[in-house]
Amino acid sequence: MLLPHLFSQESTIVPITVKNPIVEMDGDEMTRIIWKMIKDVLILPHLTIDLKYYDLGVKHRDETEDRVTSDAANAVKQYGVGVKCATITPNAARVKEYNLKQQWKSPNGTIRSVLDGTVFRKPIIVKNIPPAVRSWKKPISIGRHAYGDIYRSVEYKVPGPGTAELVFTPANGGERASFTVHEFKGPGVIMGIHNTEKSVRSFARACINYAVGEKIDLWFGAKDTISKIYHAFFKEVFDQEVGARKAELDRLGIRYRYMLIDDAVAQIMKAEGGMLWACMNYDGDVMSDMVASGFGSLGLMTSVLVSPEGKYVYEAAHGTVMRHYYEHLKGNPTSTNSVASIFAWTGALARRGELDGTPGVTAFARRLEAIVVRTIEDGVMTKDLAAIAEPKVDKHALTREFIDEIAARLTRDRDEKKI
Ligand code: NAP
Ligand code: MG
């Protein structure tokens, strides 16, 4: 049953004050529409909050020569906490569709370059949405290294026969090192990738910190049997960093496991969850989508970028849900899941509350999260979830209806508890 949209406008209850600003990054398409609804009915009526607003919508990025994206990332550096709506990463089709000046870089890539750090993704577990993998009982969090490898590669389309070489010239005038990559007999492709010790080490440390914070085991998988230098380097750094904190990990009962990446994939399918799976950049990109759909829907996957300096950007793991947006533009009703976007807001608010020492703000965020989960468990959910819920749900909520239902429950809960 959908409750009427009720605001207790005459209520004398004072909104909760958020002490320090949160950097808000607006985005594109269907998620931009959801974003505004969430802000208008779930956030602003309940909080007095200073939002530093940056419009990362693709048209505004284009108008500012994409400066708005680095400005937003620098604002996160300044204020410590950001919340981001999904954004279009332009490809050739998008350049045409939005009449863009050029194929601007991925905003998330730009933000990650400014802040560095690791992206952690965690599914939201709801009782009546059973995971596709029977053994999964607890969340599987994924820690994705957010720097380098193919995401910072140099690529070249080889036109014909010739020699591809890998050359390193030391800055201090030492001897050059050079290796033949391949003697081409005909056309082909080559790619040069890199990573830095600093970034890999901070990735390992961030993962250990996350595992310690959540008191969960830490898994890491790579392919050091094949890549005896590049992948092996990651393994060595993890071994060193875990070794340095061994006593603490032992005391907390946190186990570290290194596996070959293919073994890790097989083990994950048999595990019950409740671990952090540290992944190299590409593995994290791919595996987080697999884990997200395994837990039910992309709409239930949250994501946070944690920088080595302790700056945070929260977002939903999914994209701008383009297909739904086009339906929306045609005037058709949509049923887009807003849960991960709501949890982006609550993640940022809870963190803000912790950093500011304002438990009331953190409590508000946790209360909103509990209400969202409870609403789905009561059978009110969007179409993506209704299709897989157990017991079956016959009627799904539309995009707006779901958010209004949460808003009504949140207001009622507040009035009952007189918070
Ligand atoms: P997407 O937005 O993740 O959606 C892909 C499909 O997954 C949707 O069509 C929908 O399936 C389902 N889905 C995803 N989120 C959902 C939600 N909240 N509720 C219900 N269903 C959901 O990927 P896309 O449509 O391929 O990409 C659109 C744009 O997003 C691209 O321009 C890409 O660059 C961008 N993107 C941005 C980010 C980011 O900012 N973090 C991340 C990924 C992609 P059905 O069609 O079956 O309903
Ligand atoms: Mg991906």
Confidence (pLDDT) at 211 = 92
- What 8-state DSSP symbol labels residue 259? E
pLDDT tens-place string over residues 72-97: 999 999 999 999 999 999 999 999 99
Which pTM was predicted?
Answer: 0.87
Cβ(399) to ligand 1 under 6 A?
A: no
pLDDT tens-place string over residues 198-256: 999 999 999 998 898 788 999 999 999 999 999 999 999 999 999 999 999 999 999 99
Stretch 383-388: mean pLDDT: 93
How far is the centre of ligand 2, averaged over its atoms, from the C-alpha of 319 (Å)?
A: 9
Q: What percent of the chain has pLDDT over 70?
A: 97
Q: What percent of the chain has pLDDT over 90?
A: 85
Confidence (pLDDT) at 4 = 47
Nearest residue (by CA) to ligand 1, atom 44, is 319
What residues contact residue 279 under an 8 Å CB cut-off, 6+ apart? 142, 143, 144, 145, 220, 221, 287, 288
Residue 52 has pLDDT above 60, yes or no: yes
Confidence (pLDDT) at 152 = 87
| 122: Cα separation from own chain's centroid | 8
Q: Are 74 and 349 in contact (CB under 8 A)?
A: no
Cβ(26) to ligand 1 under 6 A?
A: no
Cβ(267) to ligand 1 under 6 A?
A: no
CB count in 10 Å sphere of residue 235: 18
Q: Which of 152, 232, 259, 241 is nearest to 204 (CA)?
A: 241
Report the nearest atom of ligand 1 relative to the CA of 338: 18
Confidence (pLDDT) at 97 = 96
Nearest residue (by CA) to ligand 1, atom 30, is 319
Residue 1 has pLDDT above 80, yes or no: no
Cβ(386) to ligand 1 under 6 A?
A: no
Report the nearest atom of ligand 1 relative to the CA of 88: 32
Stretch 11-24: mean pLDDT: 87
Confidence (pLDDT) at 181 = 97
Cβ(232) to ligand 1 under 6 A?
A: no
Residue 11: pLDDT band (50, 70, 90) is: low
Cβ(319) to ligand 1 under 6 A?
A: yes
Confidence (pLDDT) at 12 = 59
How far is the centre of ligand 1, averaged over its atoms, from the C-alpha of 130 (Å)?
A: 21
Cβ(111) to ligand 1 under 6 A?
A: no
Residue 315: pLDDT band (50, 70, 90) is: very high
CA distance 340 to 318: 8
Confidence (pLDDT) at 308 = 77
Cβ(199) to ligand 1 under 6 A?
A: no
Tell me the three-class secondary structure of the chain, residue by residue.
Answer: CCCCCCCCCCCCCCCEECCCCEEEEECCHHHHHHHHHHHHHHHCCCEECCEEEEECCHHHHHHCCCHHHHHHHHHHHHHCEEEECCCCCCCHHHHHHCCCCCCCCCHHHHHHHHHCCEEEEEECCCCCCCCCCCCCCCCEEEEEECCCHHHHCEEEEECCCEEEEEEECCCCCCCCEEEEEEEECCCEEEEECCCCHHHHHHHHHHHHHHHHHHCCEEEEEECCCCCCCHHHHHHHHHHHHHHHCHHHHHHHCCCEEEEEHHHHHHHHHHCCCCEEEEECHHHHHHHHHHHHHHCCCHHHEEEEEECCCCCEEEEECCCCCHHHHHHHHCCCCCCCCCHHHHHHHHHHHHHHHHHHCCHHHHHHHHHHHHHHHHHHHCCCCCHHHHCCCCCCCCCCCCHHHHHHHHHHHHHHHHHHHCC
Cβ(334) to ligand 1 under 6 A?
A: no
Confidence (pLDDT) at 146 = 82
Confidence (pLDDT) at 8 = 46
Nearest residue (by CA) to ligand 1, atom 39, is 86
Confidence (pLDDT) at 296 = 82
Cβ(64) to ligand 1 under 6 A?
A: no
Ion ligand 2, residues whose Cβ is below 5 A away:
285, 289
Report the nearest atom of ligand 1 relative to the CA of 341: 18
Q: Which carries the bigger pLDDT value, residue 222 or residue 1?
A: 222
Pocket test for ligand 1, best of 298, 343, 382 (most atoms within 8 A of CB): 298
How far is the centre of ligand 2, averaged over its atoms, from the C-alpha of 317 (Å)?
A: 8
pLDDT tens-place string over residues 112-155: 889 887 899 999 999 999 998 999 999 999 999 988 899 889 99
pLDDT tens-place string over residues 271-291: 999 999 999 999 998 998 899
Ligand number, closest to the Cα atom of 341: 1
Average pLDDT taken over every residue of the chain: 93
Cβ(384) to ligand 1 under 6 A?
A: yes
